[in-house]
Amino acid sequence: MDFSEDCNITIEHLRQKISENMGAKLSKSTTHRIMQKLEFSYITPRPIHYKQEQKLKDEFKKNLVIEENKLLFFFDESRFGTHSKVGHGWFKKGERTSIKVKLGFQNFYIYSAINPISGESFTLKLPNVDTICMNIFLEEMSKEIGENEAVVIMDGAGWHKSKALIVPKNITITLLPPYSPELNPVERLWLHIKQNTIKNKIYENITLLEDAVCSFIKNLKMDEIKQICNYGY
């Protein structure tokens, strides 16, 4: 059977197919063990944009060189809001656990630049994603790194390449290939933060959420950031 044509087939359906085509009567558990021995896992695939070009990704990885005497940072923004996020957790077996949720529409954005090699980071909380806020971030980051120079890698969002964007002299912006967020290790940082601050929790107001997220970020250690944001290319 070609699983590339029907990757959604269940173990029960697969067991029936084996019985029909090969005459073998297998249990679901045996069928599952066979799939594991064949090195198949029933997992959720990573979604990628249909316009993504592998060639551009490969060229980016090949040409990514850390320039001597320059700092390397990856940058991204993420939205945090009071709308509840439900996810996996440890609950008592045999009981259908309920989690309170809240529909919320207030939000803010975290702007963060991280060095996946050293674990250094620079983060700001800002109200929007636009050129004005991006200019604020770049100006403050420029002050933070002082006399050092930094290459900051980010995606091609409109406000990252706006004509009104003011890039300080000690910062050089490099854009990621289009539709390739998996190349940005900051994406894994967002997942870590949200799993620990938003998932299965509710906040009565945006201030409480801001306090929780900012406190969590302030307490992140450099070694922790290195481990979370390590990139394999």
**pLDDT band for position 227 (50/70/90)?**
very high
> E strand or H helix at 149, and its extent?
strand 149-154
Q: What is the mean pLDDT of residues 96-113?
A: 85
Q: What is the pLDDT of residue 19?
A: 85
Across the range 132-158, mean pLDDT stands at 97
pLDDT at site 1? 58
pLDDT 10s digits, 169-195:
999 999 999 999 999 999 999 999 999
> For 50-135, where are the E strands, in sequence order?
70-81, 107-114, 121-126
pLDDT digit string, tens, across residues 25-80: 889 889 888 888 888 888 777 777 778 888 888 888 888 877 788 999 999 999 99
Residue 163, pLDDT above cutoff 80: yes
CA 3 to chain centre: 28
> Which fold would CATH assign to domain 54-229?
Nucleotidyltransferase; domain 5 (3.30.420)
Residue 4: pLDDT over 60 = no
What residues does 70 pair with on adjacent strands? 149
Domain boundaries, the chain: 1-45, 54-229
Give this prediction's pTM.
0.80
Nearest to 84 by CA among 63, 105, 109: 105
Rounded mean pLDDT, 128-147 = 98
Instruction: Report residue 94's pLDDT band, with 50, 70 and 90 as the boundaries.
Output: confident
Q: Among 186, 194, 195, which residue's Cα sits nearest to residue 228? A: 186
Mean pLDDT over each residue of the chain, to the nearest integer:
89
Q: Which pLDDT belongs to residue 87?
A: 74
**Looking at per-residue confidence, does 118 or 68 come out higher?**
118
Is residue 201 pLDDT above 80, yes or no? yes
- Where does the pLDDT of residue 89 fall: very low under 50, low under 70, confident under 90, or very high at 90 and above? confident
Q: Give the whole-angstrom CA distance, residue 11 versus residue 75.
A: 41
